[in-house]
Amino acid sequence: MAPAPQLTEKLEALKEKNKASLPPETVAALEKAKAEILSQKDIEGLKVGDKAPDFSLPDAKGQKVTLSEVLKKGPVVLVFYRGEWCPFCSLQLRALEVAFPQIKELGASLVGITPQKLDPADAAAAALSYPVVSDATGDTLRAYKLLYHVPDELKQVFLERYKIDLAKYNGEGRWDLPVTATYIIDASGVVRAGMVDLDYTKRMEPADILSALKALRK
């Protein structure tokens, strides 16, 4: 079976489309916010060789997904994303849905993690063959060194430019987001590959995920 369609090309096209529509003051606000986020501590993510912290988080139906239990079946691909409101995340989740049969063929599981509140009526979650879970408290995101607080400049862009109130989307009304990340974790719970990037328009290619999983079988 051929690899999943190139995700990076689609993300880049969406990025350029969005960028073209932004006024200079918004671009300046985004750059200032990025600098402030970079100054925050403990957002560098896990490194290859690190032990993946265990978690037990609910899916849209309220059923708990526990990492240590899923690992008993084999390797796990963990994908940390911002929320269904993010078009870049939607592209990634759909690309992973295409690649999911191949991920399963390699004996691995796939779990998405978001700070967004989920419910049974969540159309995005219902359309996926793999579980996505909600980290309402941010404790798991914090344990994986991915949680940052949204600066005031960025908060204003969300509210005024995009009409997105993260407090309504996120658990506990938090204005926090994850650095987008993907980890390939072996059956012993150790990170063997991955990608962490503060630039939310960049995500790990499904083809690279599949390559990492194949490497675990050698």
Over the stretch 163-174, which tens digit does the pLDDT of each residue have?
A: 999 999 998 889
CATH number of domain containing 182: 3.40.30.10
> How many structural domains are present in the chain?
1
Domain that holds residue 124: 7-216
Question: Across the chain, what does the average pLDDT equal?
Answer: 92
Question: In terms of C-beta distances under 8 Å and separation of at least 24 residues, what long-range contacts does 191-199 make, across chains too?
Answer: 191/46, 191/47, 191/48, 191/49, 191/50, 191/51, 191/52, 192/48, 192/75, 192/216, 193/48, 194/45, 194/46, 194/48, 196/44, 196/45, 196/46, 196/146, 198/34, 198/37, 198/38, 198/43
Tell me the pLDDT tens digit for each residue of 19-44.
888 888 888 888 888 888 988 888 99
Average pLDDT rounded to a whole number, residues 48-58: 98
Within a domain: residue 2?
Answer: no
pTM: 0.92
Q: Tell me, what's the pLDDT at 33? A: 87
Within a domain: residue 87?
Answer: yes
